[in-house]
Amino acid sequence: MTNWKYTLYRSAWSALDLLFPPVCGGCDKTGSRWCEDCQKKVKILDGIVCEVCGLPQEQVGVCKTCLVDRPRFRMLRAWTIFEDPIQHALHKLKYRKDMSMGDAIAFHMLSFVQKLNWQMDMIIPTPLGKQRMKERGYNQVAMIAKPLAMALQVEYAPHELTRSKETRTQVGLTKPERKKNVEGAFRAGASVKRKNIVVMDDVSTTGATLSAIAESLYQAGAENVYALTVARALQHHSLQSV
């Protein structure tokens, strides 16, 4: 079946590229929003990972951390490692209002998501707090989640998840502090009942936020909750979530 909505969406961005010559999100080179050089530098996380949290490991199965303290989502998967060029692209989307990067990132991570073979009924972006939404003017995760949902022909449901309390930034917090910070911070809508949900964020570090979201979705009656992020911050890379 022809996915005319997604085709139309991509055509609109292509038309804007003709009017305003695009700049690569990864290296700032003119000519495209995500150049071939940057595409080649993306380190796809498609090797052996923990069956639950998605962190790279040497053998198949569930990692020791998840065996002791299993997150609430069924599984978390990230497209790539949080380092340049994707780190630069996400910063442009998040802080420099380059919303075109949302479509570019969604397009290039589409095949990765399709290969996961998840049964999904809804894709929901992680919601911003009221203050951050007011400051930024848009949810950067939504700019990726919406075209991805259209491409997969899955319902995009941003209003089915809200923040029930404001939280401080997770940057600089320990894993227990992150978990405590977002505990009870989200509320899910009634439409998630008996649905397979994919909740999306831009970057994951410990997975605490996504686990808290999964808990709220299960409390609202969701059947299965999967977590998906563009990138994963790995400790041995000395990276932190933005």
Confidence category of residue 9, pLDDT binned at 50, 70, 90: very high
**Average pLDDT of the segment spanning 159-182:** 75
Please tell me whether the peptide bond between 85 and the residue prior to it is cis, using omega within 30 degrees of 0: yes
pLDDT at 237: 41
- pLDDT confidence of residue 130: 85
Which stretch, 96-105, 181-190, 229-238, has highest mean pLDDT? 96-105
Residue with tokens 């695009």: 22
The average pLDDT across 148-168 equals 90
Q: Is residue 22 in a domain? A: no
Task: Please state, in angstroms and rounded to a whole number, the distance separating the CA atoms of residues 149 and 80.
Answer: 19
The answer to whether residue 50 is domain-embedded is yes
pLDDT higher than 50, residue 191: yes
Structural domains in the chain (count): 1
Residue type, 129: G
What proportion of the chain, given as a percentage, has pLDDT over 90? 79
Q: Find the range with the poorest average confidence among 1-10, 194-203, 219-228.
A: 1-10
Q: pTM score > 0.85 for this model? A: yes
pLDDT, residue 12, reads: 93
Residue 179 is predicted with a pLDDT of 72
Whole-angstrom distance, CA of residue 88 vs CA of residue 150: 25
Confidence of residue 2 (pLDDT cuts 50, 70, 90): low
Q: Is 166 left (phi over 0), alpha (psi -120 to 50) or beta?
A: beta
Average pLDDT over the chain, rounded to an integer: 90
Q: Could you tell me if residue 207 is left (phi over 0), alpha (psi between -120 and 50 degrees) or otherwise beta?
A: left
- Residue position matching structure tokens 């949902």: 149
In a domain, residue 224? The reply is yes
The two beta strands, 196-204 and 224-232, are parallel
Question: Residue 129: its pLDDT value, please?
Answer: 85
Give the β-pairing of 122-125 and 155-156.
parallel
**DSSP character string of 89-119:** HHHHHHHS--THHHHHHHHHHHHHHHHH---
38 within domain boundaries: no
User: Which CATH number covers residue 127?
Assistant: 3.40.50
- SS3 label, residue 19: helix
Give the DSSP per-residue string, 164-232. Answer: SS-----TT--HHHHHHHHTT-EEE-GGGTT-EEEEEEEEESSSHHHHHHHHHHHHTT-SEEEEEEEEE
Two structure tokens written together for 217: 């979705």
User: For position 131, what pLDDT does the model report?
Assistant: 85
> What does the pLDDT read at residue 101?
95
Average pLDDT on 195-212 reads 95
The widest CA-to-CA distance across the chain, in whole angstroms, is 54
* Whole-angstrom distance, CA of residue 177 vs CA of residue 117: 33
Residue 79 covered by a domain: yes
Q: Which residues pair with 198 in a beta bridge?
A: 123, 226
Could you tell me the residue range of the domain that residue 168 belongs to? Answer: 44-237
Residue 9 within a domain: no
Residues 6+ apart with CB under 8 A from 69: none
Over the stretch 77-109, which tens digit does the pLDDT of each residue have?
999 999 999 999 999 999 999 999 999 999 999
| Domain membership flag for residue 114 | yes
Measuring CA to CA, which residue among 106, 99, 109 is closest to residue 22?
Answer: 99
